[in-house]
Structure 1
Amino acid sequence: MTILLPGGDGTLRTYEPRAERTSTAYCAGGAPLASRTVFSAAHVVAEPYAFTSPEGPAAVDWDATLAFRRHLWAHGLGVAEAMDTAQRGMGLDWAGAAELIRRSAAEAKAVGGRIACGAGTDQLTGARADLEAVRAAYEEQLALVEESGAQAILMASRALAVAARTPEDYLTVYGHLLRQASEPVILHWLGPMFDPALDGYWGSADLDKATETFLQVIAEHPDKVDGVKISLLDAQREVDLRRRLPDGVRCYTGDDFHYPELIAGDDQGFSHALLGIFDPLGPVAAEAVRVLDTGDAKGFRELLDPTVELSRHLFEAPTRFYKTGVVLLAWLAGHQSHFTMVGGLQSARSLPHLARAYELADGLGLFPDPALAEARMRSLLTVYGVAR
């Protein structure tokens, strides 16, 4: 049986869906991941029956949201919670993120899952904040994450990008936070392709100069930095930076374009992972790392390299809307009952984009139940007026 998919040029093309899954990566369990630390930045599931508006607070389906995290933990992955994948600043406000952190951290403790949570400054809305207000906002969120029992990820701050005048302002704010952190944190450098409001972060739009400031923050507090997450979609820049990190400070790749080669590494080192694409690819990623744990880098690449085309499609410009494709795939895979997002973000990508995401994921054998995925894709196409 075939399905008609829009090609983006005003025409429909015929696609023959996979009849049955072929991947063996869907069995939960297995040995703990050993050679790499791998976090999946997880999405939130909206409550579809809530009376909401794009400007109002998010309505979250907590049962489905936590069930998805249990799915990731069952495969051996860590969960990076309340990050940009969870629509921080794009539908999920600080009040919603705080509740998400509390609930997910409690669930992680109950099932023995690893969790790290984003601490930022997104409670600062409206008028421009000064550096003292930015620091206080970070402190509030850092305290909540630590009180929950989770590891903290210091997220890049839109408010700090506005308030900071010089690189020294970044050194001052981050230095204060790192000195008071009770445990080593992960520093997150999110590039402007993910959030245009972060252009010029670390005090310069020149990435070479920004890198020097970033490395100075780490060099001054190496005992308080577990690792750094680099989300610049520039593989060589990440490699160059990780080679300059102090001993004991990890590099977590956030590069959704080049993750197989960065995780596999070279004779001078490798990257761990904290990736949004490992939301839909979680089971495959876990199996690939277990293969890598045996020393089989070739087998690792054979599993992950074919997924890059899908990832590059989901994260194509404007990259910040990648969450729409991630949630689409979660719905098609049966992890949630609907394709609704907080803030109405399900409308952020075109139908041809969504159709291509379905086709690529189906071709990879990512759907546990291909017939369910096909039926749901047909229902979405019908809403857009595509005849069966």
Structure 2
Amino acid sequence: MSPSVILLPQPGGELRAYAPRAEPPAPSGTGPLTSRTVFSAAHVVADPYADTSPGSPAAVDWDATLAFRRHLWSHGLGVAEAMDTAQRGMGLDWAGAAELIRRSAAEAKAVGGRIACGVGTDQLTGYDRPTRSGRPAGADRAAAGDLAEIRKAYEEQLAVVEESGAQAVLMASRALAATARGPEDYLEVYGHLLRQAAEPVILHWLGPMFDPALEGYWGSDDLDAATEVFLEVIAAHPDKVDGIKVSLLDARREVELRRRLPQGVRCYTGDDFHYPELIAGDAQGFSHALLGIFDPLGPLAAEAVRTLDTGDVTGFRELLDPTVALSRHLFQAPTRFYKTGVVFLAWLAGHQEHFTMVGGLQSARSLPHLARAYELADGLGLFPDPARAAARMRSLLDVYGVPR
């Protein structure tokens, strides 16, 4: 067998020969993107030498984490910081997220990069284990005091983001999902926050496929009813809403929703299955983007949007459509573990020197899953140094005892 061939494990247990590409990708352009506002939700790089254990605070390699953000900014992308891609609620606690926000916002100022940061309630504990109904045991109390606690938690995080100079993204709250008695509590909490926000924010609707504890958000399991509540929040405060980020993996629903937004309120797609068509848009409008898949796709995604900036929709789709297979693979159920594939590809691409994640989530995907991610990413030309990526893939296979 040729020494350049890699044996990649398949889901059924067999091995399949794969010949990695030999040539690096052509350099992509730099500079601002003009026709769409595009954020990459960025991952954090763990400190592999820290003596941590499951459940302990995250140990972050700050130099590598900030270097990756500079990489994204250099290609004209904005950074969506301290979002679910950064493992909020899955290894990164509020204390770590607050430090990440402060450090990244300062770096954004230094390089002139755009940044938006997640505001949630994850300093409140006990809401991360949903029951079958989506509510943690004992959380049916929904007293006024519970909502006051949730408002206070949101306010604390909003203050940190605003003081850093970043734009705020009001993320969905596990605590609110568990506590709210119905739509009226969502209207009250979000209305309170929007009235005091210093600048327009992005509202984030994260579906339960990304976080099971958010089932029934906006007060209903019926997505049509939930959509009406979401739109009511926006309609009551259009001057305080820059846009919405929709992460429901439902292109039809996103299109219908964006057509009903008040003038001036943007739709940022969070649909990692249908993003090319949603960003390209139709005769009635388009979506901007705030996507986790734009972490590994950063340079290619930026090149595609620059092509769209010239009015070349066909060229945009030709660049971005082939990436959907990789995205669907990384985000396959259970979707919330997509972060493992994102960090894995960052390691193969040379953005970090190890495949270690906060919370130990490097173990959350199987070896065949990672092997397929490597093959798809290599086929797209995502690795600046294909030989290094192949060598790192081989080193992982060695650990698992895969023959050469």
TM range, smaller chain: over 0.9
CA distance in 2, matches of 1:283, 1:219: 36
Name stretches of at least 5 consecutive residues in structure 1 with no aligned partner: none
- From 322, 325, 347, the equivalent of 2:341 is 325
CA contact (8 A) 1:229 1:254 kept: yes
1:54, CA displacement in angstroms? 1.5
Please give the residue correspondences for 1:1-388 in structure 2 after superposition, counting only pairs within 5 Å: 1-25=4-28, 27=29, 29-30=30-31, 32-126=32-126, 130-388=146-404
CA contact (8 A) 1:331 1:338 kept: yes
CA distance in 2, matches of 1:302, 1:20: 20
CA distance in 1, matches of 2:304, 2:11: 33
Structure 1 residue identity aligned to 2:34:
A
Partner SS, residue 132 of structure 1: helix
CA distance in 1, matches of 2:149, 2:329: 38
Partner SS, residue 130 of structure 1: helix
CA distance in 2, matches of 1:24, 1:358: 20
CA contact (8 A) 2:293 2:327 kept: yes
1:355, CA displacement in angstroms? 0.2
Partner SS, residue 34 of structure 1: coil
CA distance in 2, matches of 1:45, 1:22: 24
CA contact (8 A) 2:25 2:383 kept: no
Q: TM-score, normalised by structure 1?
A: 0.98
CA distance in 2, matches of 1:266, 1:54: 47
Partner SS, residue 312 of structure 1: helix
CA distance in 1, matches of 2:335, 2:247: 11
1:126, CA displacement in angstroms? 3.3
CA distance in 1, matches of 2:12, 2:198: 55
CA distance in 1, matches of 2:126, 2:327: 34
CA distance in 2, matches of 1:158, 1:196: 9
Identical residues among aligned pairs (%) = 84
Question: Deviating runs (4+, > 6 A) in structure 1?
Answer: none
Structure 2 residue identity aligned to 1:7:
Q
Partner SS, residue 96 of structure 1: helix
CA contact (8 A) 1:280 1:330 kept: yes
Name stretches of at least 5 consecutive residues in structure 2 with no aligned partner: 128-138, 140-144
Partner SS, residue 168 of structure 2: strand
CA distance in 2, matches of 1:202, 1:183: 23
Partner SS, residue 358 of structure 1: helix
Partner SS, residue 324 of structure 1: helix
Give RMSD over aligned pairs: 0.9
| Number of equivalences | 385
Structure 1 residue identity aligned to 2:362:
Q
CA distance in 1, matches of 2:26, 2:209: 32
CA distance in 2, matches of 1:54, 1:306: 37
1:10, CA displacement in angstroms? 1.0
CA contact (8 A) 2:25 2:384 kept: no
Structure 2 residue identity aligned to 1:220:
A
CA distance in 2, matches of 1:211, 1:314: 27
Structure 1 residue identity aligned to 2:16:
R
CA contact (8 A) 1:23 1:366 kept: no
